[in-house]
Amino acid sequence: MNEDVYKDRLTVEQFEVTRRKATERPFTGKYWNTFDKGSYVCVCCNIELFSSKTKYDAGCGWPSFWDTIDSEKIKTEEDLTLGMKRIEVMCANCDAHLGHVFPDGPEPTGIRYCINSASLDFNSS
User: What pLDDT sits at residue 81?
Assistant: 84
User: What pLDDT sits at residue 2?
Assistant: 79
Residue 49 lies in domain: 3-124
Average pLDDT over residues 9-19: 97
Is 45 among the catalytic positions? no
Among the listed residues 42, 44, 91, 114, the single catalytic one is 114
Instruction: Tell me the DSSP string of 63-122.
Output: -EESS-S-GGGEEEEEE-GGGS-EEEEEETTT--EEEEEES---TTTT-EEEE-GGGEEE
Model-level pTM? 0.94
Q: What is the CATH number of the domain that holds 88?
A: 2.170.150.20
Beta bridge partners of residue 76, listed in sequence order? 89
Res 125 pLDDT > 90:
no
**What total of structural domains would you count in the chain?**
1
